[in-house]
Structure 1
């Protein structure tokens, strides 16, 4: 895609966001402060992040004073720039900025405590809603230094004396303008790790959200109590206009029994389930969501900094009855529903449909998930299905080596994923769009932005597919880091799936040891990958595959085959350590058209650009069925004992400009 086309695309996205803001915020009815406050609420920014809020407010003020149009994209860019390390230097040279100065909060904790009276409650004297009133002053002032690590004023994060102190754990305060807070322990829940709290927590959610008008009107708090810090529960159904906070050190643990996850329209409920057109929901806190899906290994792994990461026993379709916990219970229930007998194909389909994910939102709008730690799902991690305006930020996923445990999965419009750590059992971040004829008229999965994430050990870094039935379009992935993943950029589908992928930008990314089985030493820590078992079938830095494994075939094939168009890869480095292991540095495969039963023609990926790429110590690229594409400013160093780093077969109109070395 040329510069003009890209500019046109970005303008179209910008106009869409502007129209969305006008529709959602009704700016003509609010002054500037009210408009900004509602914008912050929509994207899920914690209200105590005063320095970030200040950057956004100043951006709005500056552009308004000059008569310029204020766009959501520009405001997010301003905040994003501040969150980067170099933004601290930028703050030091700006003198006259308005400041939202927050004094030490004097929270009105229970001026008046009122029992929630409801005939359903079994603990009326204990379940209390607590009204709080923030003490915040707005004034013009010189910018005041505030450390983003410890929260203290007077210094920046880079100068914080607690920065390298592993024992220090800063206490994060969540949105102090919540109107009503329900602590589930005061409503009768017990954090003993044994009591099933599903009914109590669900009743608390229903009551708290009953009259709420925004996510900041109502908060359900799950925090350690005198019984312990582990709250056992089955599926919980979230409601509109609410915040769910899991406090630091607290674990919300899923029940290991299938009966606690009912079928809803023949779909198994997730641990946290948002359906029926939900809107304005936040899931936050420094606690943990544990799906209890599979057995944990007897020994965890260590990351590059010496921190321990959860590791789960290798889980596959063939091992669910040996290493599964909730996964095993749900599979056994599926078999029992079939009178104890299933064909192998039915078992495969059941394995792909009866296991629970950690968090699923279905037809939901304005969703924010932040800061939570996610571990051990029976199936996927976070899923946004057929929704709009979803954000996932600052989360930590530890699901390796859980089968199918995608980190963050989106089949929605307007998805923002940033500043997450993802050590995944499947694709780290993946965009999907359904399979076959039944989804052909669904809205596309569109407008995704993935940036500033650290991806580790997953099957792919940022992935499109393999479900591409209603098209995946206009996705930007940038400024990410990947280490030990099985693949890097990954676009995958099959001819039968239909739809395809278009306008995917993958840029400004660093990747190391992609799909290798090397022995690596970093910071004195040894990573022996020699015995790792890869599951995706390919181990490549860049993948465009139309021959992905179909898996479940419980759907009707598309009328027209899938296509990949307008894929742009720019400013990416790859270092695979040595060429003894790993797959092709670039792998492109189309559809052969040889299956007469399908009746599809041969298909090529088209208009693919690789520009400003450096690849070190990786095996040769293997490219077929690629058409009208460009390779520019490519440097390849060390491709082993192979004659050339390029293997080209059945390609059309490929251009190579300043490529070292050139194809033969």
Structure 2
């Protein structure tokens, strides 16, 4: 993504020169790289994002102008459009000690626009005194024409939640002309696997639910194989952009899945609702595994039982034969926006070998569904994830790049920007691995807030996976109540449900050139920083840089198998006088202004 390549080096240099400086409002820098994310516009609205200036400490807000007229501020706009923003605000209301770094909101949704009309946008930084910077470079974007509408009810869908509407919905999709919108109006539409095509929008309207069928036979077994060298053909998901024959190659482009409605995978029984920190109900799904799926599962149970009946062992059936909610492969230009994700039998949203994918303003409530990730990218290029709420049964935002020796023939997973999200439950906020074979690279995660995830930045691989992750930046974020590790880089990951249907690499995975800066971690449990290479076999991680990171709570830093790395202004508090640093099997580490020193 151009954002990463053009700006990281310059921003890091300027930030280093301006730390501790305070600028008057007249010297505020304007935002840069104002852009409309891929397909983030239609006939009525346009979403804008921008890069904050290198020196942004004095910036409290941004104001957006259209054709020279003030539209509003990013903070107030985010209050209306982002499901993450109320939780972010509540997080800071609870921070009475002012321990945490304050994030900046750098997106805006312009609504109520006219179809097929060009708008000229600029953005200004706003200081604490209300004064503004000069304009950003201008951006001109045109709304689309009003799309042709294909209402699924006109194709026979009942929307009563009992009868299958698969054929009616698929008929509307098949009839859809280029640039059209397939609409699910208010109602509950039970369906098996659906197949999208290029140049279309699927809208699940407010009050509408697309409910996955509980029957295994409604999801064709000729779904997809995960990697070219994988041996298991997995079942189709509820929503797919895939060739009907998984061995064929088919490309797609320009797919949008939007709306204020709900996508419900119907995967697991719902144990109960719990109240979150805002007093809002959140679903809690049965936290099952391959020994309890029969008592806990709905679609998950049916699909595993079907696979076992065909002769597959339970472990492989459970790990390979459950449907995800959405799977897209070989799609260029994708926009997901506004909807709520519930209860997948397996993963949430899977993007395989895609290009330019945007996830914005969505809500993921999949806790504690086993393997219930939020969104995953594999061997893809260009991802933007912002303004989303994650409460998941697995990783929130996950990146993968293939397994073992054959992954060197695949494209890397690269170029992603993750910002302004709220992460609640989940195994990790931002996760690289465990499939690292073709490298995961060029990731920027900034201005995110988390309360209760197992880990913040989670990077995991093995001695036989190959590849790794590199050129990753995690910064300007606030984290509370990590359960296991705030930051983990490990070669000791093991998935008990994984099927080793690939040739092992003779090269271990490696995490290198990772920069963590300006992050606060409150009440860190377990490990604050955990680095686990394998110094005995000369498998080191290297080039980790931690700058201006502060921890409170009992957590410690345990480092083994790391070299050529730097820790500067890393502060531990509330550690009962115990030195938190435990360093073994490492070399070339530099500690500067660290409290307490190792």
* TM norm structure 1: 0.70
1:97 aligns with 2:68: yes
1:549 aligns with 2:497: no
- How far apart, in 1, do the equivalents of 2:333 and 2:409 lie? 23
- The CA deviation string for residues 393-426 of structure 1, in whole angstroms up to 9 with x for no partner, is 1000000000111101111100110010000100
* Offset at residue 618 of structure 1 (A): 2.8
Kept after mapping to 1: 8 A contact 2:191/2:213: yes
Kept after mapping to 2: 8 A contact 1:612/1:634: yes
Structure-2 residue corresponding to 1:260: 218
* Offset at residue 621 of structure 1 (A): 1.1
Kept after mapping to 2: 8 A contact 1:381/1:405: yes
- How far apart, in 1, do the equivalents of 2:52 and 2:556 lie? 40
Structure-2 residue corresponding to 1:590: 533
Kept after mapping to 2: 8 A contact 1:178/1:219: no
* Offset at residue 8 of structure 1 (A): 8.0
| Residue of 529, 540, 559 corresponding to 1:604 | 540
- The CA deviation string for residues 326-350 of structure 1, in whole angstroms up to 9 with x for no partner, is 0010000110111xxx5xxx43222
Aligned partner of residue 292 in structure 1, secondary structure: coil
- CA 1:96/1:238 → structure 2, altered by over 3 Å: closer, same or farther? closer
| Residue of 448, 463, 469 corresponding to 1:480 | 448
The RMSD of aligned alpha carbons is 3.0
* Offset at residue 630 of structure 1 (A): 0.2
| Residue of 281, 284, 289 corresponding to 1:308 | 281
Moved more, 483-492 or 430-439: 430-439
Structure-2 residue corresponding to 1:240: 198
- Which aligned pairs between 1:468-547 and structure 2 lie closer than 5 A? 468-515=436-483, 539-547=484-492
Kept after mapping to 2: 8 A contact 1:391/1:416: yes
- CA 1:282/1:322 → structure 2, altered by over 3 Å: closer, same or farther? same
- How far apart, in 1, do the equivalents of 2:328 and 2:457 lie? 25
Over 2 Å off, 4+ runs: 5-11, 39-50, 75-79, 85-88, 133-143, 175-179, 346-350
- How far apart, in 1, do the equivalents of 2:332 and 2:508 lie? 31
* Offset at residue 179 of structure 1 (A): 2.6
- How far apart, in 1, do the equivalents of 2:407 and 2:550 lie? 39
1:442 aligns with 2:431: no
| Residue of 269, 288, 300 corresponding to 1:295 | 269
- Which aligned pairs between 1:96-495 and structure 2 lie closer than 5 A? 97=68, 177-209=145-177, 212=178, 217-224=179-186, 229-264=187-222, 265=224, 266-275=233-242, 276-297=250-271, 299-338=272-311, 346-411=313-378, 412-495=380-463
Kept after mapping to 2: 8 A contact 1:98/1:139: no
* Offset at residue 351 of structure 1 (A): 1.6
- How far apart, in 1, do the equivalents of 2:259 and 2:422 lie? 20
- How far apart, in 2, do the equivalents of 1:76 and 1:390 lie? 17
Kept after mapping to 2: 8 A contact 1:625/1:650: yes
- How far apart, in 1, do the equivalents of 2:121 and 2:587 lie? 62
- The CA deviation string for residues 287-324 of structure 1, in whole angstroms up to 9 with x for no partner, is 00000000001x21111111111111122222111101
- How far apart, in 2, do the equivalents of 1:95 and 1:252 lie? 36
- How far apart, in 2, do the equivalents of 1:419 and 1:353 lie? 31
- How far apart, in 2, do the equivalents of 1:314 and 1:78 lie? 40
- How far apart, in 1, do the equivalents of 2:337 and 2:533 lie? 38
* Offset at residue 560 of structure 1 (A): 1.8
- How far apart, in 2, do the equivalents of 1:414 and 1:140 lie? 25
Consecutive unaligned residues of structure 2, counting only runs of 5 or more, are: 11-34, 72-112, 124-142, 225-232, 243-249
- How far apart, in 2, do the equivalents of 1:361 and 1:493 lie? 24
Kept after mapping to 2: 8 A contact 1:99/1:142: no
- CA 1:176/1:301 → structure 2, altered by over 3 Å: closer, same or farther? farther
Aligned partner of residue 498 in structure 1, secondary structure: coil
Kept after mapping to 2: 8 A contact 1:590/1:604: yes
| Residue of 555, 563, 566 corresponding to 1:630 | 566
- How far apart, in 2, do the equivalents of 1:465 and 1:492 lie? 5
Kept after mapping to 1: 8 A contact 2:43/2:116: no
- The CA deviation string for residues 258-293 of structure 1, in whole angstroms up to 9 with x for no partner, is 100002252210100112311000000000000000
- How far apart, in 1, do the equivalents of 2:196 and 2:209 lie? 18
Structure-2 residue corresponding to 1:518: none
Consecutive unaligned residues of structure 1, counting only runs of 5 or more, are: 12-38, 54-74, 101-132, 144-174, 516-538, 594-600
Higher RCO structure (Cα 8 Å, ≥6 apart)? 2
- How far apart, in 2, do the equivalents of 1:452 and 1:46 lie? 22
Aligned partner of residue 593 in structure 2, secondary structure: strand
Structure-1 residue corresponding to 2:131: none
- How far apart, in 1, do the equivalents of 2:120 and 2:376 lie? 42
Kept after mapping to 2: 8 A contact 1:451/1:480: yes
Kept after mapping to 1: 8 A contact 2:457/2:474: yes
Count of residue pairs brought into register by the alignment = 492
- CA 1:223/1:645 → structure 2, altered by over 3 Å: closer, same or farther? same
Q: Could you say which structure has the larger radius of gyration?
A: 1
- CA 1:543/1:183 → structure 2, altered by over 3 Å: closer, same or farther? same
Kept after mapping to 1: 8 A contact 2:252/2:330: yes
* Offset at residue 444 of structure 1 (A): 0.1
Moved more, 555-564 or 452-461: 555-564
Structure-2 residue corresponding to 1:616: 552
Aligned partner of residue 520 in structure 2, secondary structure: strand
* Offset at residue 95 of structure 1 (A): 10
- The CA deviation string for residues 238-267 of structure 1, in whole angstroms up to 9 with x for no partner, is 100000000101100000011000022522
Aligned partner of residue 318 in structure 1, secondary structure: coil
1:48 aligns with 2:44: yes
Structure-2 residue corresponding to 1:560: 507
- How far apart, in 1, do the equivalents of 2:276 and 2:421 lie? 16
- CA 1:46/1:302 → structure 2, altered by over 3 Å: closer, same or farther? farther
* Offset at residue 177 of structure 1 (A): 2.9
- How far apart, in 2, do the equivalents of 1:140 and 1:337 lie? 59
